[in-house]
Amino acid sequence: MENVKRILAAINIPVPAQAIYVSLLEKGRATARTLALRTGITRTSIYDQVKILRDKGLVTELSVEGKTFFEASDVRQLSALLDEQLEKLTVQKKFLSQNLSSLAQKTRSAQPKVRFFEGQEGVRQLLKDLLWYDDIALHIYWPYEQMLNFLGKEFLLWFSARRAAHGISIQTIWGARPKKVTKNIFIDDGPDVERRILESQQPSPMGYVIYENKVAFISSQKESFGFIVESTEFVALQQMQFDILWKAARKK
C-alpha cells in the first residue's frame, strides 16, 4: 500500500486522509468510530479527513440500519485524479519553459552567490543543478576514484545518461596517481566527452565543474560537502586554471 500512499501524496491528499483511505481499501467499509480505532486518528478529525476524500470522489458515504458507514469508491478514480494532476503540471511546465529566460533574468544580479550542500544526497542535488541546462559544455577536474566512492556508481551512471540526453558535452581532467587510474565505469563515452589524465603523487581529492556562470566544487567522502559559486569573474579565473591543467595533462 506504500505505492497507493505515494499516489495519494501526488494528488495532495494529507497523510491522515491517506491512512483512512488505505484502511478502507484493505479492511472495507467502516464507521467513523471504527476508522478511529484502526488509524489512531481522533473521531472528530475522521470527519474532516473523510470530507477531503469525499470531495475528491475517493470515498462514499452510506447508511446501513441507521448507522453511517464510509467505503472506498471505485479505485479508477485515482487514475482520473492523477490524469488531472498531470494535465495541470503539463500546463505549468509549458508556461515555465516559455518564460524561463525572462524569469531567470529577474533573479540575476551582479553580486556573487554561494550555495552550500552537505552529505552525499546534498552533493547529488548540487550536480542536478547542471541538468537545468541544455547544449552547454562542462569543464571538469575530476578525481575519479574519490568521486566514485563518494557519489556511487549507480548515481554517476544515471547522471551521465541524463547529461547526454540534455546535449551537454564535457572536457574532463582526471586527477590520479601515476598508473593508478581505476577502470572507467563509463564504458562508452561517446563523441561528446574528451578526457585527459593529470598524474600527480598527491592528486587533489576535491573536484570542480565549470558551467555557464557557475563553478561547482565537490569534496571527497571524507569531508562530504559541496558548494556552487555563481560569479562571472570567478568562472574566468577557474577557467584559466583549468586551461593550464588541460595542457599539462596527457591524452587518455
Write out pLDDT tens, residues 15-50.
999 999 999 999 999 999 999 999 999 988 999 999
The grid cell for 214 is 557557475
pLDDT tens by residue, 72-96: 999 899 999 999 999 998 999 888 8
Q: What is the pLDDT of residue 132?
A: 87
pTM of the model: 0.58
Q: How many CB atoms lie within 10 A of CB 186?
A: 13
Question: pLDDT at residue 109 above 60?
Answer: no
Q: Where are the domain boundaries for CATH 3.30.870.10 in the chain?
A: 110-251
Do 25 and 32 contact (CB within 8 A), yes or no? no
pLDDT given for residue 180 in this prediction? 64
What is the sign, positive or negative, of the torsion defined by CA atoms of 209, 212, 215, 219? negative
Q: In terms of Cα–Cα distance, which of 142, 111, 85 is closest to 213?
A: 111
pLDDT at 250: 86
CATH architecture of 2-76: Orthogonal Bundle (1.10)
Q: Where does the chain hold its CATH 1.10.10.10 domain(s)? A: 2-76
Report strand pairing: 250-251 vs 59-64.
unpaired
What's domain 110-251's architecture? 2-Layer Sandwich (3.30)
What burial class does residue 168 get, using C-beta atoms within 10 Å of its C-beta: 0-12 exposed, 13-18 middle, 19+ buried?
A: buried
Per-residue pLDDT, averaged over 174-198, amounts to 76
Give the dihedral sign, CA 137/139/145/148. negative
Q: Does residue 105 or residue 206 have the better pLDDT?
A: 206
Residue 134 in this model has a pLDDT that exceeds 80? yes
141-166 pLDDT per residue, tens:
998 888 989 999 899 989 988 998 99
| Residue at grid coordinates 541538468 | 131
The whole-number pLDDT of residue 115 equals 92
pLDDT given for residue 175 in this prediction: 86
